[in-house]
Structure 1
Amino acid sequence: MEEIKIENSSSSHYNKDKSNIIFTPAVSKQRYTAVHELLTNTKWRESLNSVTEYGCSSYNFFPYLKNTSNIREINFVDLDDYILEERLFYIRPLLYDHFNKRTNPLKVNVFEGSISDPDLRILNSDAVVGIEIIEHLFPDTLQAVPYMIFYVIKPKVVIFTTPNADFNVALPNFKKFRHLDHKFEWTREQFESWASNITLRFPQYKVTFFGIGKGPEGTDFLGSCSQLALFVRKDILDSSYNPPISKCFCGQINLCNTSEDNLNHCLTCYPMQPFGICTYLTKSKEFKSIGKNDLNFYRLVGTIVYPHKEEDKRSKEERILDSIQDKIYDNSFKYRNEDGVAEIPLFKITTIFEGKLISEEEVKDILVHHGYEIKDCLMKNFNEESDEWISCVLHQIPITPSSSESGTESWGDEDYKLSDEKSLSDWDKETEITAVN
């Protein structure tokens, strides 16, 4: 894999009594920033439209995903249904989101479920993220993770982070694990061995490792506080790559009963989830028994749809024309002649479209194509105190019909005057009489 870098301007130091290490910014924030930076890498960001995060807990990673314009669907999966429901308000649209609508749609799904269980509703995930989750897993669940992620979901990008056990000796007053719920903590060698083994079993992926949270001076040999593994599917890096075809075998057991004439893919036959040697179906909750092809093992906690702008189906030329017409109307009265026709210089209605200035020639071609008349007009050049000929577009200013009987004139006329007293309504007359009395 071509070398991929993440920006690292962090620092750390021991406090005065060396009872704690101060990371700037906090390691948790560094993790979120690094994961988001990798998800938005120019090599694949446009192809990542859906992201699934396992172990999402309090939705702390959501602000980073929410403001990523190419992401259109986010799936949060966690076992703790209480926190998922208690913190659901955190991912609901704010008033700001209603007034500043997204360009692209965004749907957020929240599921109660296990990382070891499959679910049809997340099979469209382009990226899977597990931030500080694997160290919380029991051995059977951890063993199921590679098959669940890389065999069932097959995302384009997968990111896992976990504490670096090598760094623990640098932590003051450290005792065994960093969190009471940790089942293990891996050294860099152990983590890299686990991740590299995944690429051996699933050779369509490549893996790269990063350190997160640089330690204080003198701890470089211990690595960083946290570590990250980035898996990328090879066909994303090289479009000519042909991934190996899965024959749906687990050891000597044919899981899908395929035939030579009709080779069904494992995702379309039963059981989709590989049992036994391949992985485990570790349902942590008592869900109802499932049918043959009913693979919705997660409980949907909620779905939130963000407001977004309606899709603009106009062509590029139509959008430019609308922008030009707005400028024509804005300048109409300023450049109208005695016949009520506006002669507007083209340089006054050039516009910027998608960051690029549309030239006078381009404006002229578009206007002529849409039936506007272009002619040379004599304009005064105040800088040189002389007149010069420039290209103008002609625009007939709409005139409000006037009534000679009532004496009203055009709305655009500065000499507009009210009707005479004879045209006053009965209500006006009565009011006038009352006032006189």
Structure 2
Amino acid sequence: MKEYGIGCWQGIKNGFSTGDFLVVRDYSEGWIERLVAQKGYPSVEIDYSKAYSGLGAIRKAVIKNDSKVLLYSRNETVSKSSRLGALTSELRMGYSSFSGIDRVYWEEQTRACLEDLLAGCVEVPFRAIPARIKNAANPRRTFSLVFDAEQLGGIRFGMPRVLALLAEEGVQATFFCTNFVLRTYSGLAEVIRRSGHEVGLHGLHHEYLKGSPFERQQAQVAEMKKGLQGVSGANFVGRMDIRTPEALAVNGLRYFVVAFKNTIGPLSLYCPPLLTRAGVNTVWVAFIQAETYGKNWNEIKLQLDNTLASAEDSDGLHLTVLAHPFYDGALENLANLRRLVEYLHCEGFSPLRLEDKIASLPPVTVEPSVSSFRFELNPGWGRAGALLSRFKNNLAARECAAAIRRGSRAVLDVV
């Protein structure tokens, strides 16, 4: 196999052949079946209007073809199905999508993304757009806008719009990218960095690390880092376990993120980045306090307001907000992304890449005598279990942050 840099592959992606990918297409998309079959991609047909009902058919096709990664022809936004995430989680598989991101242009965008996929490697179809930072009057109020980038449509069509908006609004952000999109679009990491943004890890193919032995996770993270210099952080929300922080730490990463979305007022909590114990090492955890996906502006603003209302120190704050190029870069959602950034500017927050926030934190050496607080990485079963886990995590994070404010040395113990 000839390597063309971090963005390219020829028939193989991260050690996977085309036969390891399973294309999941709608029953009306015979044209997709014909095109992917020519390149050796197996496919399975489902009804995207009720996608979860296709679980059985997908499972059979996965077993038959020994598939490792799902490639969806649609995403949840254009298919109007909210169950693709649940379907992928049930199968515990990696995934991507070559779906278009705008309903009105879905077919032509999907054809373009499918051509990119079948070509194996294309130059990233847009240029860097450097962002000039807008600093607020109060440097102690900062925010990090982080993007999860695992879908081809989000890169090809959403990313140029997002980069342009960030440049206009003076925001440097963090993009957690899968190796799949980095190797499909040659030069993507360089374009992101030249625009003033950070590149972080998001998995080889958005796969699950959860449940794998430590040695396997360590090797996976090392593979993700190949060809990417200076990577500091990772986002494996919902796909990691208690072994993952140590796998990150031994590979030289400094932080990871966890979901702590403040959608419910009484359970809301502002929490700064905290140190976690990772074997004999330590690694920082940053809390995502708001997310844009599937939400209108009022729902996004509510998460931010809940977070601010729960903060004890209204001046020394750092907010982390999660977004997605395939969703927030869609024409119908782009205005909400702009409103989010403008709202944070109006509230006196300055943008900061997450790696820069972590780098500004004082180094801490963890010793056995350091106070620790139990933090459950994976919530319990069902809604009640998740709420109970959230309540216990709130207490642990609150007590840990309070101990640090008192001058004590404290860490979270991830369980």
What is the TM-score normalised by the length of structure 2? 0.28
**Bigger-Rg structure (1/2):** 1
Structure (1 or 2) with the greater helix fraction = 2
